[in-house]
Structure 1
Amino acid sequence: MNLSRRDFLKTAAVTSSATALPLSLTLPTQALANGADDYKAIVCLFLFGGNDSFNMVVPASGANYDNYVSARPDIHLSTTAIAPMPGFTAENGQAITLNGNMPELAQLIMEGNATTVVNVGTLIEPTTKSNLSSVKTPPNLGAHNKQQLAWQRSWDTGQYHPYGWAGMMMDLLASGAEVVSPSMSFSGNELMNSQTGTDLRISADGLRAMSPLAINSINNNVQKLLDNNTASLFGKSYLQRFQDIIDFQSSLSNTLDQYPEDETIPASYLGGQFRMVKRLIQSSTNLNQGRQVFFVSIGGFDNHSNQRGKHDSILAQIDSALSAFYRSLEADQLHDKVTTFTMSDFGRTIENNSNRGTDHGWGSNQLIVGGQVNGGKAYGQYPEFIRDGADANGNKFIPSTSSEQLAATLCKWFGLSDNSVDYIFPSLSPANTNSFPSRYLSFLGEVTPPPAIPVKLAIAGVSASVTRVDHTPEMAVDGDSASKWTAKGLGITYTLELATSATLSDIKWSQAKGNIRQYFVNIAVSSDGVNYSGISSVVTPGTTVGLVSNPVNANNVKYVQLTCNGNNDPDNSTLRTWNNFQEIEIWGN
C-alpha cells in the first residue's frame, strides 16, 4: 500500500472523530507535575447565553428589595421564593440571598465554603456612571460571542489577547513535553486556548479509546511514514507526536477505570460532566499533573421571553450538580484543592421586558465554590436596583468589579507571581493611570508561594552546524536586530551555551520575514553539550518580526540547541529551506 500524507491525515481525522477526542499535537507539559500535597484544580462552569444572575442573587430585604420588585414586576422572586441566608451581605452592606431553587449552594455559602462576586463584568479600567463617557469600555458589549470571548481572555493594548487567560497561565507553568494536556473541556472554549497547546476535549460519557484494530492500523500507517526517508525532520517529529497521542489515548481509559463514576453526583447533563471531572481529578497523580483546569458548561440562559420557569429550572440543576460535586470532593478530602467558579456572557437588564423576559445587560453575579473560599460574605458592591440609577447606564448595571480581577485571583491561587499576573492582565497593573484598587479580590485563602521572577540569562557562546561569513551565529545574540544569522537547509542546528546552568522559563527569538512566514524549530536542552533532550516543537505564528515568546520549563540547562527546519514562505517556494535568527534571548533563573 502506498500511503500518502493526505491518506494518513484522512484516516487520522476519522479516527479522532470516532473517539470524540480531538487531541492537540502540541500540548502543555511536565512542569505542572507536583507532589500530591501541592495539587490544585480550577473548574470553570460557563453559563452560555447570559445568565440572569440578578434573579440568582437578589436583595434579601429593605429598600433595594422593593426596588427589585418594582423593576421586575413579572419575574421577581417573592420573599417566600428566596433562600434563607441571614447575615449574608455584600461589601457595601446590602443583604443578599440566592434564588430559592438553590438551597444546597445557599447552605454551602452559610458554611463558608462558597460565596458570590457581585456586579462583576468585563472592564478595561474602573468605570462608573460619572466617568463612563471618558473611559475605555470593552467593545461589542451585549454581543454573545464577543462577550463570551472577553470573559475568557484578557485585555491587552487595544485588543484582547489571542489566547485565553487560563491557557496563558498554563503556558507560564508548563514546558511543552507532556502528551496529555492538564487543561480539559467538555465543549469548545477560548479560556484554555494557549500558545503552546490546546485543551483536551472529553465527553461526560468518558473516554472511548480506539479499538485494537483501529490502533494497529494507525500504528502501521504512522510507522510507514516514519520509515519514509524523504520525510522532513519536522514531519517526522510531527508524526512521532501523533504516535505519542495514540499511545496515550489507548491507555488513559485504563487509568479512568480505576475511578468509577461517583453516583452521589446527579446523572444530569451538568452532573455527568462533574462526574468525569471528579474522575480526572482522582487520576491526577497517575497523569503526573499537579495543576489541572477544567471547563464545563450548560446553556439555555438567553431568555428574552417567559423566563422565570425556564431559568428557575436550570438554576435548580446547577444547584444539585455543583453542590453534589463539592460534597463528593469533601468526602475524599479534595475540597480544599479544587475551586469551581461560574462565568457567563453578561448579566441581564435591570427591568424585565414586556414578554416576561430580560434582555442583554452588562454587570453580573458569579458563584465561587471550594474549600479554600474565604466565606461569610459576598465580594463586591451590590448595585442599586434602579434603571438609570447610581450604578446603571440606562437599563444595564455598570460593573463595579472587573471579570479580570476574579480571574487574576484564581491565577494567584494557582501560584503565579504579581509579574506573571500583570503579563496576563496588563489592565490590572497598579502602574496604570486609572488603576483598579487591587489586582485581586480576597475570596480565596491560602496562596501558593509564587515562583522566582525570570531574568534574561547571559550567553557564553554560540555556534551553528552551517554558517555564512556575513551572517555568523554571533549576529543573533549581538543585541542588534538589523544583523542576523542565516543558513540554508533542513535540520541545521544553532547551539547556545549559557554562562551558568539554569532553569529555563522562556526562549524568545525574532526572525526576518517573521510577519509573513512560519518557521519550524525544535528545541532541545543539555547539561553537558553532548546528550540533548527535546522539550518542544515550535511553529512560529507568522504574524510578527518582533520577539516571539516560547515558554518552556527545563532544569539544570547549560546548552540550548535549536534545530531549524525551514519555513513556509507564501511567495517563493525556493526560499522555504532558509533559516535565520535576528535576535535570541533565553530567560530563566
Structure 2
Amino acid sequence: MCNHDHPLFQKKEKESKDERTVHDQEHLLWNRRSFIQALGLVGGGSMMLGSHTVSATKPSPLSVALAQSENDHILVIIRLEGGNDGLNTIVPVYDYASYANLRPTIRHQQSDLLNLNADFAIPNYMNALESVWGDGNMKVVHGVGYPQQNLSHFRSTDIWASTADTYEEPTGWWGRYFEDLYPDYLINPPEIPPAVQIGNVGNLIFDGNNNNYAFTVANLEQLQNVAENGTLHDVVNIPDCVYGDKLLFMRATANTTFLYAETIHDAYTAASNNADYGEGDLGQQLSAVARLIKGGLGTKVYMVSLGSFDTHANQPERHQELLQDLSNSIKAFYEDLAVSGMDDKVLGMTISEFGRRPYENGSDGTDHGAASPVMLFGAGLNGSGFVGEHPDINEWDANDNLIPTNDFRDVYNSVLTNWFCLDPSVINTILLNQSYEILDLGIECETLSTNDFSNVNRFSHVPVYKNNTVYLELNVPSAGRGTIVLYDLVGREIGTIANKLFFEGRHSIDIKEALGKRLSFGQYIYRISIGGQHYSKSLMIK
C-alpha cells in the first residue's frame, strides 16, 4: 500500500509545488489576456454605418447551403474549467485495487459507489445521474485527450477550442463554421445570436478571424439582466450631475453593443422553468439556457461553465461540491426540457482542458494530467453506455499521465456529423482539414445532407500586419468587379480602399497606401462587395 513517506510521493510533492508556481504565473497571464479581450466588443456587436444605406447581404451559395442543411438540434457545451479528475468521476471498479493503491487518501470507498455497470461506477453523491443513466440519456466517452498533452490550462484550453495542437490557431471550431455561414456578420448579422456563451471570456471556441460569433456575457447576472430587462446596464437611476451624464453615455453605449438583447429578452420571458435547479452555479446557468431554448430563441450552440476543477489540494470536498452541482443540474435541465418535449433535441456535452494524474499528490489533491472522460446527455442518445476503451491506469506516458484512447476531435467530428448532419467537406473546414474518427455515440443523422461543398471556391479575406502597416489579402475564386470601403467604429466612411475589377487569384492591398490619407491608430471595419456578395471584418491600424 502506498503512503506519503514513500520516496515516490516525496518526489511528486516537490514536482507539485514547482507545477503550482508555473500554474500561478499562467493565471496572471491569462487574466491579463481576458481583460484585454473584454475591453473590446465581445460578441453580438454590430454597427450602423452612419447615414449610409447598407444593402442586405445576398447570401452566398455556401451560406445558403449551410443554412438549408441545418436541423433543429441544439448543443450545450458544459466546460468543466480547470481540468476534471476523471478517475474520481467515472471510477474504474474493474481494477479497484490499482485505483485505490494510487489514491490512498482521496479514493472513493467501494461502499460509496453507484455502479453504472460491472466495470464503472460514479460516487454516490452523483446519484442524480443514476436516473439519467437508467433512462438511457447518458453516454461516457473514455480517455479523451490529444497526443502529447500540453499541461498548461490556457494552451490546452486553446487547443480544445481551436482543434490545433501543434501550432497556435486564432480561430475556434464553431467560429470557423459561423464565419462561412454569416460572411457579412459585422454589418448584417442574423436575426438570432448564433451562439450564447456565459463566462469563458477569452475562450476561442466561437472566434472567427477578428470576430466572435457568440452573445457573450461575463456571468449569469449579466445574462439575467439582459434577459429580464432587455438591456445590460441601468440607464434610469443615474445621478443628476456631470458624472451621471458620463455614466449614462457609457452605459447606453455598452447596451447598444448587445444587438440581441431584445431578442433574448423576448425568448426568456416567453418561457418558464419547470424543474428545481437548486442554488448551484451551473444549475442557475442551465435554468436560463432552458428558458431561452423553450422560449424559441433558435440559437444552435450554448456554452456554460463550472469550476474550478483545478484540485491540487483538498480535492475530496471541492470535487464533491462540483460534481453534485453538475449531476443535479443535468437532471433538472432535462426534466425541464422534457416538459416542452425538447429533451431529445438538446445534446449536452462536457469538455475539460485535461484530466489529472493517476496518483494523488502530497496535498490531498491531483496535479495536471491528460486523459479524462467526456460525458454526453440527452434523450436523443438512443440509450446509455460507454464509448471506447478506458486507459490502462497502470500504463503512463513519460510525464506520468494516463494515455488517451480517444481524441477529443473524434467527439467533435461525431457530433458535427451525426447530430448536426453537416457535410464532410464543411466539417473538414471546421476541423482544419484533418481527418478524425466517427464514434458510435448513439446518435444518427435523420436528414442526410445532399450538399457537396468539396468543389466550392471560397472567397477569403484577411488583414495581414507586417512592415509597420496593414495589408488586406484576398483570394478571389472568379473575376469580378469589387469595392472595398473602410469605416470607423462610429460608422463614418473613411474612404474607398478599392473599386476595380479583381481578376481570379490572390491580391494584396496596402490599406494606407490605397486610401492615400493618414489614419489614426485604432480599430476599423472594412466591407467588401464583390460578385453580389458582401463580407465584413474588423482590422487594427497601428
User: More displaced, 102-111 or 353-362?
Assistant: 102-111
Aligned to 2:212: 197
Measured in 2, the distance between the counterparts of 1:320 and 1:213 equals 33
Aligned to 1:259: 271
Aligned to 1:24: 45
Is 1:319 the counterpart of 2:350 in the alignment? no
Measured in 1, the distance between the counterparts of 2:167 and 2:337 equals 38
What letter corresponds to residue 101 of structure 1 in structure 2? Y
The answer to whether the Cα contact below 8 Å between 1:104 and 1:320 also exists between their aligned partners in 2 is yes
Aligned to 1:355: 363
What letter corresponds to residue 51 of structure 1 in structure 2? N
Relative to structure 1, the CA distance from residue 439 to residue 420 in structure 2 (aligned partners, 3 Å threshold; closer, same or farther) is farther
The answer to whether the Cα contact below 8 Å between 1:348 and 1:359 also exists between their aligned partners in 2 is yes
Aligned to 1:100: 124
**CA offset digits 1:493-546 (Å, max 9, x no partner):** 748899xxxxxxxx99642348999995424588xxxxx7x8542336x8xxxx
The answer to whether the Cα contact below 8 Å between 1:40 and 1:338 also exists between their aligned partners in 2 is yes
Corresponding residue to 1:70 among 86, 94, 101: 101
Aligned to 2:288: 276
What letter corresponds to residue 352 of structure 2 in structure 1? S
Is 1:147 the counterpart of 2:156 in the alignment? yes
**CA offset digits 1:381-415 (Å, max 9, x no partner):** 112222xx2x5445210111111111222222223
Q: What count of residue pairs does the alignment treat as equivalent?
A: 429
Relative to structure 1, the CA distance from residue 261 to residue 22 in structure 2 (aligned partners, 3 Å threshold; closer, same or farther) is farther
Is 1:537 the counterpart of 2:536 in the alignment? yes
Measured in 1, the distance between the counterparts of 2:349 and 2:357 equals 22
What letter corresponds to residue 401 of structure 1 in structure 2? N
Measured in 2, the distance between the counterparts of 1:383 and 1:520 equals 49
Relative to structure 1, the CA distance from residue 268 to residue 486 in structure 2 (aligned partners, 3 Å threshold; closer, same or farther) is closer
Corresponding residue to 1:58 among 49, 70, 91: 91
Measured in 2, the distance between the counterparts of 1:34 and 1:262 equals 32
Superposed, 1:383-532 pairs within 5 Å as 383-386=391-394, 389=395, 391-412=396-417, 413-426=419-432, 428-429=434-435, 438-447=436-445, 448-450=447-449, 451-453=451-453, 455-456=455-456, 490-491=495-496, 494=499, 510-513=507-510, 521-524=526-529
Is 1:181 the counterpart of 2:196 in the alignment? no
Relative to structure 1, the CA distance from residue 393 to residue 211 in structure 2 (aligned partners, 3 Å threshold; closer, same or farther) is closer
Relative to structure 1, the CA distance from residue 428 to residue 110 in structure 2 (aligned partners, 3 Å threshold; closer, same or farther) is farther
Aligned to 1:5: none
The answer to whether the Cα contact below 8 Å between 2:141 and 2:374 also exists between their aligned partners in 1 is yes
Measured in 2, the distance between the counterparts of 1:322 and 1:487 equals 48
What letter corresponds to residue 441 of structure 1 in structure 2? L
More helix by share: 2
Corresponding residue to 2:170 among 162, 165, 180: 162
Q: How far off its partner does 1:57 sit?
A: 0.5
Relative to structure 1, the CA distance from residue 477 to residue 419 in structure 2 (aligned partners, 3 Å threshold; closer, same or farther) is closer
Measured in 1, the distance between the counterparts of 2:291 and 2:367 equals 38
Paired-residue identity, %: 21
Relative to structure 1, the CA distance from residue 516 to residue 96 in structure 2 (aligned partners, 3 Å threshold; closer, same or farther) is farther
Give the unaligned 5+ runs of structure 1.
1-16, 88-94, 124-136, 218-240, 430-437, 460-474, 499-506, 527-531, 543-567, 571-589
Q: How far off its partner does 1:325 sit?
A: 0.5
Give the unaligned 5+ runs of structure 2.
1-37, 49-56, 239-252, 460-473, 487-493, 515-522
What letter corresponds to residue 86 of structure 1 in structure 2? N
Q: How far off its partner does 1:174 sit?
A: 3.6
Measured in 1, the distance between the counterparts of 2:399 and 2:135 equals 37
Q: How far off its partner does 1:36 sit?
A: 13
What letter corresponds to residue 369 of structure 1 in structure 2? F
Is 1:80 the counterpart of 2:111 in the alignment? yes
Q: How far off its partner does 1:279 sit?
A: 1.4
The answer to whether the Cα contact below 8 Å between 1:428 and 1:439 also exists between their aligned partners in 2 is no
What letter corresponds to residue 220 of structure 2 in structure 1? A
Measured in 2, the distance between the counterparts of 1:178 and 1:81 equals 51
The answer to whether the Cα contact below 8 Å between 2:484 and 2:528 also exists between their aligned partners in 1 is no
Q: How far off its partner does 1:283 sit?
A: 3.1
The answer to whether the Cα contact below 8 Å between 1:374 and 1:442 also exists between their aligned partners in 2 is no
Measured in 1, the distance between the counterparts of 2:90 and 2:425 equals 34
Question: Normalized against structure 2, the TM-score is what?
Answer: 0.68
Q: How far off its partner does 1:23 sit?
A: 3.7
Q: How far off its partner does 1:302 sit?
A: 1.4
Relative to structure 1, the CA distance from residue 72 to residue 458 in structure 2 (aligned partners, 3 Å threshold; closer, same or farther) is closer
The answer to whether the Cα contact below 8 Å between 1:204 and 1:275 also exists between their aligned partners in 2 is no
The answer to whether the Cα contact below 8 Å between 2:43 and 2:214 also exists between their aligned partners in 1 is no
Q: How far off its partner does 1:160 sit?
A: 3.6
The answer to whether the Cα contact below 8 Å between 1:52 and 1:348 also exists between their aligned partners in 2 is yes
Measured in 1, the distance between the counterparts of 2:144 and 2:507 equals 39
Measured in 2, the distance between the counterparts of 1:487 and 1:117 equals 49
Q: How far off its partner does 1:161 sit?
A: 2.2
Measured in 2, the distance between the counterparts of 1:49 and 1:491 equals 47
Aligned to 2:139: 115
Measured in 2, the distance between the counterparts of 1:341 and 1:427 equals 23
Aligned to 2:347: 339
Q: How far off its partner does 1:293 sit?
A: 0.9
**CA offset digits 1:82-129 (Å, max 9, x no partner):** 113235xxxxxxx21222221222332233211111111133xxxxxx
Measured in 1, the distance between the counterparts of 2:422 and 2:154 equals 28
Measured in 1, the distance between the counterparts of 2:233 and 2:83 equals 44
The answer to whether the Cα contact below 8 Å between 1:375 and 1:443 also exists between their aligned partners in 2 is no
Corresponding residue to 1:39 among 68, 72, 78: 72
Relative to structure 1, the CA distance from residue 282 to residue 153 in structure 2 (aligned partners, 3 Å threshold; closer, same or farther) is same
Measured in 2, the distance between the counterparts of 1:117 and 1:297 equals 19
**CA offset digits 1:531-575 (Å, max 9, x no partner):** x7x8542336x8xxxxxxxxxxxxxxxxxxxxxxxxx4x5xxxxx
After superposition, the CA RMSD in angstroms is: 4.3
What letter corresponds to residue 78 of structure 2 in structure 1? L
What letter corresponds to residue 278 of structure 2 in structure 1? P
**CA offset digits 1:43-96 (Å, max 9, x no partner):** 1111111111110001123xx111111111111112111113235xxxxxxx21
Q: How far off its partner does 1:24 sit?
A: 2.3
Aligned to 1:563: none
What letter corresponds to residue 400 of structure 1 in structure 2? T
Measured in 1, the distance between the counterparts of 2:77 and 2:370 equals 20
Relative to structure 1, the CA distance from residue 193 to residue 478 in structure 2 (aligned partners, 3 Å threshold; closer, same or farther) is closer
**CA offset digits 1:305-349 (Å, max 9, x no partner):** 221122112111110001110121122211121111111121111
The answer to whether the Cα contact below 8 Å between 2:233 and 2:255 also exists between their aligned partners in 1 is no
What letter corresponds to residue 65 of structure 1 in structure 2? Y
Relative to structure 1, the CA distance from residue 85 to residue 524 in structure 2 (aligned partners, 3 Å threshold; closer, same or farther) is same
SS in 2 for 1:274: helix
The answer to whether the Cα contact below 8 Å between 1:405 and 1:428 also exists between their aligned partners in 2 is no
The answer to whether the Cα contact below 8 Å between 1:155 and 1:427 also exists between their aligned partners in 2 is no
Aligned to 2:9: none
The answer to whether the Cα contact below 8 Å between 1:142 and 1:361 also exists between their aligned partners in 2 is yes
Measured in 1, the distance between the counterparts of 2:373 and 2:458 equals 48
Measured in 2, the distance between the counterparts of 1:301 and 1:512 equals 47
Q: How far off its partner does 1:367 sit?
A: 0.8
Relative to structure 1, the CA distance from residue 306 to residue 538 in structure 2 (aligned partners, 3 Å threshold; closer, same or farther) is closer
